Structure 1
Amino acid sequence: MQAAAHLFFEQGYAATSIADISELSARTSGAIYFHYAGKEQLARAVVEAHFAAWPALIARHENVGAPALERLVRLSYAVARAFRDDVFVRAGARLWAERRSINVEMPPPFLDWIATVEHLLDEARAEGTLAAGAEPVRDATTLVSAFFGLHTLSDALDERRLIEDRLTAFWQLMLPALQGVPAPAALLDRVREDTASLPR
């Protein structure tokens, strides 16, 4: 599956064959077909691995002893690094984008992310740190849309090499609308100082 993820990310679904995966993985085609009925099922397995990466990552960041908005920002950087560095995450994202050419049902994206962001915004409201004009249900969808749009742009421009810089600019724009007492620079400084020890 590691070989398949690498090839699906680098070449796309249509340009990758079972023979290619066999060659890269040093496994016979027969061994691959023993585990997967075809290339479609292997692609789905990679997408499922992509989605399976998130619950544990979310849980680790939800358990960090920090205010909710800071946890949200910390989580966003961890997700950004996963999209930049993790082959299963990158391959899963590409395969999901190519889903109309793959004859297998794919898991739905984004809904869990929207729920997670809404939950953190609700926590921030309960803490008294959310801006009066912020609305968790409305703003969670907007934040997730903008966040993944940022990833699409960053992937197209430089294969996400500058994703953390772009994410910092994103939060410099968004945090003043979310924080009850706007202090985006202080929050971002705390997150950047702790980057080396953040859960991955």
Structure 2
Amino acid sequence: MPRQLRAEQTRATIITAAADLFDRHGYERTSLSDIVEHAQVTKGALYFHFAAKEDLAHAIMELQSQASRQVTSEVDGRGCSSLEALIRITFALTRLNVEGPITRAGLRLATGGVEVRPPLRHPFTEWLELAIRKLRGAVKESDVHPDIDVHAVAHSLVCFFVGTRVGGRPLEPVGRLPRRTAEMWLLLIRGLVPVHRRPRFLTLATQLEREIGAV
């Protein structure tokens, strides 16, 4: 195997192992020795790629941010209405959380005392701007009541979305996340969407929850 490919695979193994430990035990309670043991690599291999635990945490947060932006881009490429796109993006992010530890760990690190270094942006800020943009579009498309406070709704949505993941982590299995995302949308749709437009979005939320559960 070429040396560069081996190095890339080793780096990916270290990141995945660290993400799993950060997600399960937190940043402070995870040592570099724990990561070396979990990844089954040498300390030399770890230090070749990461000079400190903080650098490893930042690499995970970068991957989480990249995954979020990719999901948003893919959904936007489908040409959905603004509200449908926002619903689909939140469920796509939920799927990422269910499928692997990197996005879960990235969010826990960003909300758990690890500094988010520029040019990386905090996921809460990125998601808040996304929600504001999509909700404004939904108002223009008449999928949301025109008199809503877009900023307040966007803030509440992101707090609900993030809080479910952060607060529910020690209480519920990760497989419960699709249900929580669906519950969030069933509440929001009934409060935001005109009655005659609700069935489409309520059906979409239920369908997307079911699709994640079937994976």
| TM-score, length-scaled by structure 1 | 0.84
Query: Which of 141, 164, 168 is residue 182 of structure 2 equivalent to?
Result: 168
Which residue in 1 is equivalent to 2:171? 157
Query: Which of 117, 132, 136 is residue 150 of structure 2 equivalent to?
Result: 136
- Residue 120 of structure 1 and its aligned partner are, at CA, apart by 0.9
Query: Which of 36, 48, 55 is residue 50 of structure 2 equivalent to?
Result: 36
- Alignment partners' CA distance in 2, 1:133 and 1:105: 35
Per-residue CA distance 1:134-178 (angstroms, 9 max, x = gap): 232332122112222232343232133222222222222211232
- Alignment partners' CA distance in 2, 1:69 and 1:141: 15
**Deviation larger for 37-46 or 14-23:** 14-23
- Residue 58 of structure 1 and its aligned partner are, at CA, apart by 0.7
- Alignment partners' CA distance in 2, 1:169 and 1:35: 41
- Aligned-residue Cα RMSD (Å) equals 2.4
Distance 1:2 1:150, change over 3 A: closer
- Tell me which amino acid in the other structure corresponds to 1:136: V
Aligned length, in residue pairs: 195
Helix, strand or coil for the counterpart of 1:156?
coil
Helix, strand or coil for the counterpart of 2:169?
helix
Per-residue CA distance 1:89-140 (angstroms, 9 max, x = gap): 11112222332xx5x5544231111111111112112222221222323321
The answer for unaligned runs of 5 or more in structure 1 is none
Which residue in 2 is equivalent to 1:15? 29
Distance 1:17 1:157, change over 3 A: closer
**Deviation larger for 79-88 or 147-156:** 147-156
* 1:58-73 matched pairs, under 5 angstroms: 58-73=72-87
* 1:85-164 matched pairs, under 5 angstroms: 85-99=99-113, 105-106=116-117, 107=120, 108-164=122-178
- Alignment partners' CA distance in 2, 1:62 and 1:105: 26
Which residue in 2 is equivalent to 1:189? 203
Cα contact 2:145–2:193 (8 A) shared by 1: yes
Distance 1:105 1:138, change over 3 A: closer
Cα contact 1:171–1:184 (8 A) shared by 2: no
Which residue in 2 is equivalent to 1:81? 95
Distance 1:22 1:153, change over 3 A: closer
- Alignment partners' CA distance in 1, 2:140 and 2:100: 34
**Deviation larger for 183-192 or 117-126:** 183-192
- Alignment partners' CA distance in 2, 1:48 and 1:172: 31
Cα contact 1:5–1:92 (8 A) shared by 2: yes
Query: Which of 38, 41, 46 is residue 27 of structure 1 equivalent to?
Result: 41
| TM-score, length-scaled by structure 2 | 0.78
Amino-acid identity (%):
29
- Residue 182 of structure 1 and its aligned partner are, at CA, apart by 5.0
Per-residue CA distance 1:54-85 (angstroms, 9 max, x = gap): 11101111222332212211211111222232
